Structure 1
């Protein structure tokens, strides 16, 4: 999937169908001069329904579809015949889609399961025909109910990627390179900051045909929670990850400080982020000789409050241990 095809935010105007009018028909037949009321009910207006689809990974298919309208219910007929219901309109969305009211920004629903359906705008009810209003004192009612109008809403769809592991790091920390090495994903890679402009997903193939999903989001910079840089726009994509993998390059001026800045940005964005399992990968460690690595390890043991590993995506070092550790963390029994 190219970056241009990754769409994780769209606004849509939805309108359900109006209910059909009830009929005020009076029965007429040869030799039956006054057959009485026999007007049928109007049909229901069509619903607007959101449906989860596990085969979708983006909202790109809705990028140019800004208005969705359902069909109107048909009017009632004679001989108590009910009008047909309006055609429902389905909007297929990827799992992890959050539905907001565009005006208030309140969260209305979330789609997290394949096939899950939510009626976001109900079709109007059809009006009752005149035969419902027949009584001993009014045996030929010449009126019927009109149909109820449908609903109209402006909604915003936001995609929060459903992945097992979220990659967190500063720009140019090597996240895209790592993703390209441990998965079949082909993210854009270059030697400058903000190469990644959209989130990337990759599936890691583990032992015995097991797999897990890793999400790489654009790099975070200090102040991201206040809107600096571009990483803040995508922080929601790692809200659902059960495990966070922090990538800090071995040539960073201060590895511990970089990790603490990243942790603080996540805390300021959403304090619940700190409840997730965390693992630190010291990337580009092929630049370290044994003596430097031992010296760095001694310092990290004292100051880091999370498990860490030395890896090198380019030199293919420590990647098997990284996969083993991530798999262990993802499948750890929850503490009671």
Structure 2
């Protein structure tokens, strides 16, 4: 499958909240950008070792431009600082995607929960739910009211959106939206890890969809060596205990798309033709893991001695 990758132009930059910079990106020749659906993200290639994933938070119907929003993280690894300091209007930046591991599934009712910059993938979801005539509410928390991005944009939805700045209201009142969830309701949540863990602990089985910015802590039984057969390449590799499948494949000269190397972006998801994966990602659902049809080769391993991959 061909993946769109191009150098785009920063058409507009504006602050969506304190420390949150929104960028509108367009094609330099005015060509339409690939279509996307709520929940999609793109890889922004900022330079060597600076590749980051940001959710698309504009209007999916507008293919003339993409919008992303980036929180300035002083203790981060340099990606957000580069965006804030280097990407002025008319700057060029390489972008790849879009990719979607957080799709909005059809439902008569939704309960959205956002923490901080986690509002970005939920923003177009709320608009889509509204357009579809679904019942929905959004509980949106942040450190302070001034730090909560797109608050004015969300204000048009009235009391269906509950703003909960921590310095005013304390921690999010999750029982108010997650206890007694009616049948047919889907819960979508994005934000920091502790919030996602708290929401997972309260949600009935099968109703929750989450997207993580940081990998979820995984309980593993340790690493052992195993073999990987690359069906299309005709190669069989030994993956050592201290080497990822991704690194073993790349060391063998086989090109494969990858990005975060943490199991959060989904870029390296690969079809499994035989064998049982040891899933260690933060992307696949429990049902997807149970099928064993795909795995994220940057972090996941093998439960047996051999895997056959469609590479």
Calculate the TM-score normalised by the size of structure 2: 0.22
Bigger radius of gyration:
1
Calculate the TM-score normalised by the size of structure 1: 0.21
Greater strand fraction, Structure 1 or Structure 2: 2
